[in-house]
Amino acid sequence: MSAPVCPKCNSPEATKSGVIDGRQRFKCKNCGYHYTVAKVGKEINSYYVIKALQLYIEGVSYREIERLLGVSHVSVMNWVKKYGVKAPRQTDYHPTYKILNQKELAEFFQNPANVQGAGLVVTELGDKYMMIRWERFKQG
């Protein structure tokens, strides 16, 4: 059995260092970090991680991201922490979004009134497109 690469420094040099919870533990010869073999579980495609982080930066809430992508809001929170993503404070604007297929998106852009004066982003979302638009909060 060859040791997996170190998750901290990516070095392939490691020695066995006991067993914890039935899993082989290793110690990296390069940095001294202790780690176990990769857990068996569901790994999320990086496409969804990137989309979730993009949506978070655009101001979409964790729960909305969960509904849109089908990924747990807790996973999204963990990715935000892991990658140190900070969303800008938004007080004057809030995002609204629509999910459109290609035909609907083309029809939307054919009308110049739909895009005039709008802060607008379009991103791919599986086989559809998500259009995010910012609207200014009305000052009462």
Q: Give the helix ranges, DSSP H, for the chain.
A: 46-57, 62-69, 73-83, 102-110, 112-115
What parts of the chain have a pLDDT lower than 70? 1-3, 38-43, 90-94, 117-118, 135-140
Q: What is the pLDDT of residue 136?
A: 58
Instruction: Give residue 139's pLDDT.
Output: 47
Contacts of 8 (CB under 8 A, 6+ apart): 28, 31, 33, 35
Query: What pLDDT score does 45 carry?
Result: 81
Predicted pLDDT of residue 3: 66
| Residue-level pLDDT at 79 | 94
Q: Which residues pair with 24 in a beta bridge?
A: 19
In this prediction the pTM is: 0.54
Is the separation of the CB atoms in 62 and 49 below 8 Å?
no
- Structure confidence at residue 82 (pLDDT): 92
